Copies of this chain bind each other. A is one copy, B any other.
Amino acid sequence: MSQHMPPAHPFDDDKLKEECGVFGVVGVTDAANFVALGLHALQHRGQEAGGIVTHDPETGFQSVRRFGYVRDNFTDPATMAMLPGSIGIGHVRYSTAGNKGQTAIRDVQPFFGEFAMGGAAIAHNGNITNANALRRELIDRGSIFQSSSDSECIIHLMARSLQKSIPDRMEDALRRVEGAFSVVAMTRTKLIGVRDPLGVRPLVLGQLGDGWALASETCALDIIGADFVREIDPGEMVVISEKGVESLRPFRPRRSRFCIFEHVYFSRPDSILGGRSVYETREAIGKELAREAPVEADLVCPVPDSGTPAAIGYSQQSGIPYGMGIIRNQYMGRTFIEPTEQIRNMGVRLKLNVNRALIKGKRVVLVDDSVVRGTTSRKIKEMILDAGAREVHFRIASPPTAWPCFYGVDTPQREKLLAATMSEEEMRSHLQVDSLRFITLDGLYRAVGEANGRNPAEPQYCDACFSGEYPVEPADMIEQGFRMKSAAE
């Protein structure tokens, strides 16, 4: 539909896609403006739609939810005037577990519910893996769902809780849900943040004068000029009011399993994860990759833009010069009408152009962050060869992506993943390149700071997309026919 925005990354259709970003703020004048800025900084986590809820004593809760970019929806004074108050939360989404391709505006978060004790709004990043079962149970008992979103379960569970306060009701509700979820919520006066016990998805706390902010990533604190205080702990619930930050632990403690793919691709390079900038981690991945998979070549060239830091690292470690052999068109967008067959590969030309004069006659190392379906890797390789490259060597800054993610990431079905059906050599042959090498899982763990690599007994991260080892059983998906990795695999 026309109100759905075009993708802003080249080859978005061949990437794993983070599905949500959340942001909340309390104790600031005109909170909605801060939320809009925070969401704008998190736009890479979801481009389909966004919403903001605020509360003001005079007008009560106000909500605006729209398809499209934050910059287009939450910048005009008339809209922002509809969102008064000093507390607010917001959400950007790609699609989450609602019906793909049929997103209605009623599926766009934050969700709002009025309870006997007052109202609350809630938004989350992640996925509730037992949402289907919960929904059936709630409908049987008379709840009416307004959306097809898994997040709405939380609101209904809260409405039915016998607890008095909203934070207590939220605890009640969250103890019933399984999966990966970083939640921001708000009552009339309190900003609430929760991370699931495994801490799969990120959530950080910032301070801004007397006010506080919660965000999926630190880059959203930077844009509003807030200081980064700390990450919310896995399993922690913070309840923030003008009095300060109260920390609760509503869940049984478990060993954390942060999503390793946030380091590889999802998070913005200028965000800080585990005390280090994501950019530096990616550069380190490139260096590790250069050590693991060296090659004789004339030029290290990133697949823009996500492959850039790893390419710089690869160049630094290997000593092979770095150059921008592929130029990205900054005005990408809607699909042009394909002219006649005189044009081949137009889709790719719309997004990228090869720097022919630079590539010609060279042995080129192409560094990309991941290979999902492999369709674009193949097109890029052809462009590079058409431009006269002598050799093409792919180096991938993550292990082969062989399993879908069920924790808030949009992945193709397993059979569409190139690595689910092919070995590394088969992939190389399929892509018809001179060499193809992925970083090893141990290498990736080393690059993110685990000097001894992955602990196979108790992996330090969620790496299910690479390993097939799911830290939370994807109950809804198994019900729909997904087959877990067998012991034999």
List chain A positions with a Cβ less than 8 A from chain B.
Answer: 6, 8-9, 28-30, 33-34, 36-37, 40-41, 43-44, 47, 69-72, 74-75, 77, 80, 106, 113-116, 139-140, 142-146, 155-156, 159-160, 208-209, 211, 219, 222-225, 268-270, 272, 276-277, 279-280, 283, 305, 308-309, 312, 316, 321-324, 327, 329-340, 342-346, 349-350, 353-358
Contact = CB atoms under 8 A, between A and B. Distances in A.
Given A279-B358, A339-B28, A321 B331 contact: no
Nearest to A92: B331
Contacts of A211: 342
Given A139-B116, A316-B321, A324-B309, A342 B280 contact: no
A333 B69 contact: yes
15 contacts: A8-B331, A28-B339, A36-B336, A43-B329, A77-B337, A144-B155, A208-B342, A222-B356, A223-B353, A225-B343, A225-B346, A270-B327, A277-B357, A305-B330, A312-B323
B34 A75 contact: no
Copies in the complex: 4
Contacts of A276: 357
Contact of A322 (B225, B322, B327): B322
Contact of A40 (B269, B321, B336): B336
A28 B340 contact: yes
A144 B334 contact: no
Given A139-B116, A208-B342, A342-B208, A353 B270 contact: yes
Given A33-B337, A279-B324, A354-B270, A41 B329 contact: yes
A339 B269 contact: no
B69 A269 contact: no
B339 A33 contact: yes
B270 A356 contact: yes
A28 to B, nearest CB: 7
Given A71-B331, A331-B43, A355-B269, A342 B277 contact: no
Contacts of A156: 142, 144
B8 A330 contact: yes
A58 to B, nearest CB: 13
Contacts of A44: 330-331
A160 B146 contact: no
Nearest to A34: B339
A330 B225 CA distance: 19
Contact of A142 (B30, B159, B279): B159
